[in-house]
């Protein structure tokens, strides 16, 4: 397991949540939680196929070893060819385009966001691949009806205590 994947998996353990849903978003194209758990053999093919290390495994309980994502730690890059889906031979991940990926919704915390404090920033401005993040008077604004929670805006935020949080 790569260092990044090991870190991601250990960070997932910090908030161990169990189903009704895993508490963390599943990889793109995941079936409903019950269907996903029946279909997924925990082979790890989707994890290995992700070129950005954005998929890890859940640690314990009935979901142990199943793939999940935490876009607050490692963003989904919305790969056009969705290698994670292509790698899933179990049918737990169904083909879906970028428009069908929903991991959560990004929220900006004005108390931590530089433009709300005075200095200009704009680091997140061009990071949103689907146009959910706009700036008004230099301040970021996220349309929750458009945002898919990929986490790319959060990854580009230069503030140590990130000003953008992905809620799932």
Q: Where are the alpha helices (DSSP H) in the chain?
A: 3-13, 33-39, 45-49, 83-87, 114-117, 152-156
Predicted local distance difference test score (pLDDT) of residue 143: 97
Per-residue pLDDT at 31 exceeds 70: yes
* Residue given tokens 């599943």 in the structure block: 26
Query: Same domain for 7 and 60?
Result: yes
136 CB-near residues (< 8 Å, 6+ apart): none
**Comparison of pLDDT for 66 and 62, the residue scoring more:** 66
Domain boundary among 56, 80, 99: 99
Query: Same domain for 70 and 30?
Result: yes
pLDDT above 70 as % of the chain: 87
The mean pLDDT of the chain is 89
The structure's pTM equals 0.84
Query: Same domain for 32 and 95?
Result: yes
Query: Same domain for 70 and 142?
Result: no
68 CB-near residues (< 8 Å, 6+ apart): 12, 22, 24, 25, 26, 27, 55, 56, 57, 58
Predicted local distance difference test score (pLDDT) of residue 15: 42
Query: Same domain for 61 and 122?
Result: no
Condensed to tens digits (0 to 9), the pLDDT of residues 96-105 reads: 987 889 999 9
Based on the structure, what is the number of domains in the chain?
Answer: 2
Domain with residue 163: its CATH number is: 3.30.70.20
Task: Residue 42: name the closest of 89, 110, 94 by CA.
Answer: 89
Q: Which domain holds residue 117?
A: 104-167
Band of the pLDDT at 151, cuts 50, 70, 90?
A: very high
């Amino acid at each position: 397991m790569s260092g990044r994947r090991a870190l991601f998996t250990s960070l997932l353990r910090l908030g161990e949540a169990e189903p009704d849903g895993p508490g963390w978003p599943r990889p793109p194209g995941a079936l409903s939680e019950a269907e996903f758990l029946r279909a997924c053999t925990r082979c790890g093919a989707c994890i290995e196929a992700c070129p950005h290390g954005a998929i890890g495994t859940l640690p314990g309980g009935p979901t142990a070893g199943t793939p999940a994502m935490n876009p607050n730690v490692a963003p989904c890059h919305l790969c056009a060819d969705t290698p994670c889906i292509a790698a899933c031979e179990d049918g737990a991940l169904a083909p879906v385009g970028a428009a069908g990926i929903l991991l959560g919704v990004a929220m900006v915390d004005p108390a931590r966001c530089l433009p709300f404090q005075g200095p200009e920033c704009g680091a997140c401005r061009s990071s949103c691949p689907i146009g959910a993040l706009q700036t008004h008077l230099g301040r970021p604004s996220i349309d929750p009806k458009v945002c898919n929670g990929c986490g790319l805006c959060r990854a580009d935020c230069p503030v140590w205590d990130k000003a953008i949080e992905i809620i799932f």
